[in-house]
Structure formats: C-alpha cells, structure tokens
Amino acid sequence: MRFTSEQPLGDGVLERAFTLDGIPGILWTPATAVASAPVPLILLGHPTLGLRRMYPRLAARARHAAADGFATATVELPGSGDRPRLPVLEQARADLRRAKETGRPVDEEIIDALVLPLVEEAVPEWQAALDALLALPGIGGPVGYSGGVISVGVRLAVVEPRIAAAGLFAGSLVPRVMFEEARRVTVPLHVLLQWDDEGNDRQAALDLFDAFGSQEKSLHANMGGHTGVPQFAGEAAARFFTRHLK
C-alpha cells in the first residue's frame, strides 16, 4: 500500500489516497485514530460509477463516520473509474441497456453476467485492502462493510471473518445464487431499501432480506427514490455501526 496524497478535511479528519497493487483507494481517519488507541474501520462500498464520480458522497459518509469515531476506506471496483474495463461487464451492461430500451425483462443471465464477475474480482481485492489497512497504526477492528453493490457486501460478509457487521443497500440487481449465499451470512445486518426505487426490484430485495441467516437483521424501508435516502435513515445506519463496532 502506497499513499499518493494526503489532505485534511477539517474537524481533524485526514484523507489519504493510496494505491494497492495498482488499485486506487482512499482512507479517511478521524483525529482520534492514534497508534495507542486504534479506531474501528468501516469499508465504504459504492456502485460501479468510479471513485471520482462517487467522491462527494463517499467523503460525506466518511466525515459522518469520522465524527462517530470510525476510520473509513474504499477501493476502486474492477472495471470502474481509471481501472481497465472488464469485457464481460461491458458486454453485460450493453445487454442490460438493450433489454431496457426494447422493454424486454432483464433476464437472469444478464444479471449474473453483470454482477457475478464483479463479485469474484472485487471481493479478494477488498480483502487485500483490509490486510493492508488493518496493518496501519491507528486502525483496528472490528470491521464493518457499508453500502455499494449489495452482492459484493453479501459475499464479503460470508467469506471475510473480520467483517463484524454489514449495512447493505438494496439498490442493485441480485443474481439468483446470491440468495443461497445470503443464508450463510450470520453477522448483524442493517438493510436499507428505497421503497420506490425505480431501478430496483422490491420483491427481490424483500426475498433477499428474508434469506439472510443473521439472527439480528433489520430492514429500513423509506420513500424517496434510489438516491433519496433520507437523512434520518443515514443516521439510523450510523447508530447500527456504533452499536456493533464500538
């Protein structure tokens, strides 16, 4: 892990860009993160729009988390931002666009091709980032995962024992196999669902919530479209992490 830039965001929050095996990422640490008293870490998931485009929202989430005493970090997804395109994802996106344009239903093959290669590639990268981040002074466990492509969060929660709690956003298409995988998730979950999210399949989101094996799981459904998560819903998610990671 190599830090490439560093800037203070105010209120003692330090933002550091890094690369790890050529993958760009960002780490935000609160003023309270010192070697003698490491703070818990939340991995900030995001959609496949690229870190640059997502930066304002990520930085806002990072500042809120820092105020609650958390370090946060994120890495670029495979095929997103400045990283090389993944032909299989590009093809699946083209198929999805065509299906939508022609009004055809989005079939399971398209959903699988759109999500599963991303999960396969991204999850080991997030795990490698976790190795590097937890080796830094001032960053400790437990670790939370928050938001982004929900299938990435599900897979991480299944395979990565350092993830102690996950806040998931039911806002992307979910391959059928992930419903089986969801049964193997046991960490506490906080799932946000935008009830009238046009781009989201509400019934699939409810089925996925039902499938999770976790003893503690909460679904918070709110109005307001995909990007309209109300402020109070963000605060409830923050309290979830405070409850489980502090």
Select from 46, 61, 155, 217 the one that contacts its own copies (CB under 8 A).
Answer: 217
Structure tokens at 153: 């969060």
In degrees and rounded to multiples of 5, residue 220 shows phi and psi of -110, 110
Q: Does 211 bind its own copies (CB under 8 A)?
A: no
The crossing angle, in degrees rounded to 10, of helices 150-159 and 108-134 is 50
Strands 23-29 and 13-20: antiparallel
Closest CB to its own copies among 118 and 185? 185
Shortest Cβ distance from residue 238 to its own copies (Å)? 12
Q: Does 210 bind its own copies (CB under 8 A)?
A: yes
Buried/exposed code over 106-119 (b: 16+ C-beta within 10 A; e: otherwise):
eeeebbbbbbbbbb
Closest CB to its own copies among 94 and 223? 223
CB 42 within 8 A of CB 89: no
Stretch that binds its own copies, among 49-57, 138-146, 154-162, 210-218 (CB under 8 A): 210-218
- Encoded one letter per residue, x for contact with its own copies by CB under 8 A and - for no contact, window 168-207 reads ---------------------------x----------x-
Give the DSSP letter string of 185-228: --S-EEEEEETT-TTS-HHHHHHHHHH---SSEEEEEESS-TT-
Shortest Cβ distance from residue 164 to its own copies (Å)? 16
Q: Does 246 bind its own copies (CB under 8 A)?
A: no
Stretch that binds its own copies, among 4-12, 67-75, 174-182, 232-240 (CB under 8 A): 232-240
